[in-house]
Amino acid sequence: MTSPDLRLVAPAAARNRDPILDVLRDALPAAGVVLELASGSGEHIVHFARALPALQWQPSDPSPDACASITAWTATEGLDNIAPPLALDAAGEWPAVRADAILCINMIHISPWAATEGLMRGAGAILPPGGLLYLYGPYRRAGVPLEPSNAAFDADLRARNPAWGLRDLDNVSACAAEHGLRVEAVLPMPANNLSVLLRRV
């Protein structure tokens, strides 16, 4: 009997993984542990782990289906620098974990604000001085008109869940600062997304 294929596929991951990797190549440390929050299907982390084999990668997600997909993708790709996924909810209690850098791709707008607060609190607690917190996704920015595609996306998110929606980057940055993280760079990305690089002070 053939076992079911537990790998999930997120079309956006195939579109944005290489632009994100281009940023990460310069921003991540040469060695160490990289924790990804909200790993989802696992497609991002297997792509990054294949391209940057000197790093150890720790995926995580609160969804059992996502964790099963991450495990399946890791096994299919035969990568030994990816640890088993952690069941981690950014807004809750974090399991014992260490990291030299943290990635969080497309989570902040598809989660309650408490998840962003938990992300910043956790990152501030476990990152070493100079450690990277990398965020990717769409944001509202002061003085910058919201792009029509992002405005439509924001409206759709809020219709699906009133606690979701595009966050104001100034609010995200202020929350980060409360936990010892400062914005190092904000980089434009394809499809009206941003890469936000923060460093632990």
Q: Map out the domains of the chain as residue ranges.
A: 11-200
pLDDT digits (tens, 9 = 90+) for 38-91: 999 999 999 999 999 999 999 999 999 999 999 999 999 999 999 999 999 999
Q: What is the mean pLDDT of the segment spanning 139-153?
A: 96
Burial of 11 (C-beta count, 10 Å sphere; 0-12/13-18/19+): exposed
Question: How confident is residue 4, by pLDDT bands cut at 50, 70 and 90?
Answer: confident
Q: What is the mean pLDDT of the segment spanning 128-154?
A: 97
Is the pLDDT at 1 greater than 70? The verdict is no
pTM of the model: 0.96
Token duo for residue 86 = 């952690």
Q: What is the chain's mean pLDDT, rounded? A: 96
Span 11-200 CATH architecture: 3-Layer(aba) Sandwich (3.40)
Q: Looking at the chain, list the stretches that DSSP marks H as alpha helix, in order from N- to C-terminal side.
A: 11-27, 43-51, 64-77, 113-126, 148-160, 169-178
DSSP, collapsed to helix, strand or coil, labels residue 173 as: helix
Token duo for residue 40 = 């989802």
Distance, CA of 199 to chain centre: 15
Contact indicator for 198, 169 with CB cutoff of 8 Å: no
Q: What per-residue confidence (pLDDT) applies to 20?
A: 98
Q: What angle do CA 195, 11, 19 make, to 5 degrees?
A: 30
Beta bridge partners of 188: 194
Is the pLDDT at 187 greater than 90? The verdict is yes
